[in-house]
Structure 1
Amino acid sequence: MARVTVEDCVDKVPNRFELVLLAAHRARSIADGSSVTVPVNADKNPVIALREIAERTIPPEDMRESLIHSIQKNVEVDEPEAVAAPLLPPERRAPVLGRDDQSSDSVVDVMTEEQLLRGLESMTPTEPSANGGPNGGPRERDRDRGR
């Protein structure tokens, strides 16, 4: 059999870039152990993949779906519909904080940005080097050593 060229496959997959992607993906799946649908004839995996595309033993649409599925990072999960799981009646539902009895909610203090900043500044510890530290500043240490 003659070597398969891209020209043999372009009429099956018109976009050459997509053809390369599909053939490369199929060659990788053959290398991973997927069954081959054409005679091997001591050909390498990319040639086998191109021959499968040229002979239409695997539909290009199936190869395209397989490629897309292999690239996807997030798999869509069907959420249950509202009719599948009806809501509990209100008398059987657990109370939701902040949405149940408004009279039992506690009052939240309101603080301005300036008040918050002043409060944070009063909590900030001073650095030891700013006050001379536990051993004093550099001049006091020199004095203690007798210099």
Structure 2
Amino acid sequence: MSDPVTRPPVWLTLPDGQEVRARLHARRWTPAGWRYRVGMPVWSVTADQHVEPVEYTVWVPAGGDEYVRPVEGQDYSAVPVEARAPSHPYLAPPPPGTDLRWAWTIERTRGGAVLHEYGCGRAPADGPELSLDDAVTAYARPSARACGECAAAEVLDRL
């Protein structure tokens, strides 16, 4: 039904509060924020009244782990990040108090380093703040990778 290499499991919170395992198919940036396309196995009745398993997919807002949460120990780096939606000149301004700095931070790991966009929920709270130049330099190191949960992968891969 799904490929565990490119569609790792996530926890999906349903509207009634139930938590179920689903598969993460893709991520997409929209003017309203990040969306995750998740697939969930369900039963479906065929035209000849047989029951068969199918996967229902839907785009879910990121919601700060309110709707979709990672499963501990899973690697999400291979999940595709779809192209950003075209920008629109009439987008609503960000909410008051939103930090608009374009800064980066680095997380030291056993295998090297992971670069995060400033404010990423996966970034270490005590990580140093890097400028874009510092982040690009750190990302050029062979042992470095970009976080797949924030804009780091999308931006640093392009640079």
Band the TM-score falls in, shorter-chain normalisation? under 0.3
- Tell me the TM-score normalized by structure 1: 0.20
The structure with more radius of gyration: 1
More strand by share: 2
